[in-house]
Amino acid sequence: MKAGIIGANGYSGVELIRFLINHPNVEIEMLISHSTSGKNVKELYPHLSKVCEKPLENVDVDEVAEKVDLLFFATPSGVSQNLVPEFLDKGLTCIDLSGDFRLNDPEKYTKWYQKPAADQSYLQQAVYGLSEFYKEQIKNAKLIANPGCYPTAALLGILPAAKMGLVDLETLIIDGKSGASGAGRGVSLGSHFCEVNENVKAYKVGVHQHTPEIEQTIQSITGEQTNLSFTPHLIPMTRGIMCTVYASLKKPLSTEEAVEHYKQFYESDHFVRVREPGYWPATKEVYGSNYCDIGIVSDERTNRLMIISVIDNVVKGASGQAIQNMNLMNGWEEWTGLTLTPAYP
């Protein structure tokens, strides 16, 4: 299959390249960028020398549609909503890594992203690509709204307990921590070295755009509405997200029982690994890989379940999950091209 990447010179784009060059069923046909077109990708990313030495090209809808079967959009929100309809109409499959097609309600998108939303008919067509929870829908999709990085970590952590009815969904609190690559390659005051190094800061408190995405997905899986509190933090590391979720238990439950429930729940999911009682995951244990590692504690003193989940934001939080979804859509094993072990230390 021939794939193209729009936004190929950004962090998620270049991470798609790293995995796709090892994918047995996919050939990277086109790399597209508007600001750096005409250059070779190895000029921007010398680590790709002798690995992927392709030119970056301008987007030409007819040419792309002729050459490519599947397109990844690794572009900021507000971009893909204008391009995806043209490509879908020309028969291409689209996987969008941005937030443009994730929220069903266009008014919510406008409120949280402060931009006009995509056309409603395309929002309805899009399938939310949280691979472990929407496998059947993903298999038949033509447009995937790949989840955000924080929602991937938070949802894989809380959804089993939510679905099994173990916790009161009105009590959810999510504490998120992200490395700086989550903000993309572009430079900004908030993400430059002196602002991030030896610093930990909360940001977008109470207004982060991933809040409605997490709430919408919990409602879609459980049928129950929830209003949760989510605080993201930027921490001085390059990759990785940790989400700690707190929720009140409906009935007393031991840590051993909770861990056993989670192990059974994710038994057939290749990329989710549940720690034994008393062990909690660290971001380094998933670095560069598509795994999500989860640790669970039932705090019998406060009657709260605490779930700690870690992912690599650029892999399971973006490009890796996008490839996992591509695999599901094509009937390939979902780990195809994604079998790299985390890089440790």
Ligand X SMILES: NC(=O)C1=CN([C@@H]2O[C@H](COP(=O)(O)OP(=O)(O)OC[C@H]3O[C@@H](n4cnc5c(N)ncnc54)[C@H](OP(=O)(O)O)[C@@H]3O)[C@@H](O)[C@H]2O)C=CC1
Contact residues for ligand X, defined by CB under 6 A: 7, 9-13, 33-36, 74-77, 79, 97-98, 148-149, 181-182, 184-186, 313-314, 317-318
- Decide: is 209 part of the binding site for ligand X2W (CB under 6 A): yes
Q: Which of 149, 194, 243, 292 is catalytic?
A: 149
Tell me the C-alpha distance between 294 and 107, whole Å: 33
| Chosen from ligand X2W, ligand X, none, partner binding at 232 (C-beta under 5 to 8 Å by type) | ligand X2W
The smaller minimum CB distance to ligand X2W, of residues 102 and 304, is found at 102
Q: What is the DSSP string of 224-251?
A: -----EEEEEE-S-SS-EEEEEEEEBSS
Using a 10 angstrom Cβ sphere, with 0-12 exposed, 13-18 middle and 19 or more buried, the burial of residue 167 is buried
| Chosen from ligand X2W, ligand X, none, partner binding at 209 (C-beta under 5 to 8 Å by type) | ligand X2W
- Decide: is 178 part of the binding site for ligand X2W (CB under 6 A): yes
The smaller minimum CB distance to ligand X, of residues 148 and 295, is found at 148
Sole binder of ligand X2W in the list 232, 240, 288, 295 (CB under 6 A): 232
**DSSP assigned state of 185:** S
Q: Which residue is nearest to ligand X (CB)?
A: 10
- Decide: is 98 part of the binding site for ligand X2W (CB under 6 A): yes
- Decide: is 99 part of the binding site for ligand X2W (CB under 6 A): yes
194 part of the active site? no
Please, what is the minimum distance in Å from the beta carbon of residue 43 to ligand X?
13
Greatest pairwise CA separation for the chain in angstroms:
62
Amino acid present at 128: Y
| Chosen from ligand X2W, ligand X, none, partner binding at 35 (C-beta under 5 to 8 Å by type) | ligand X
The smaller minimum CB distance to ligand X2W, of residues 183 and 297, is found at 183
Distance of CA 32 to the CA centre of its chain: 21
DSSP H or E run through 67: helix 61-67
> Which residues are CB-contacts of 68 (< 8 A; sequence separation ≥ 6)?
2, 3, 4, 29, 30, 92
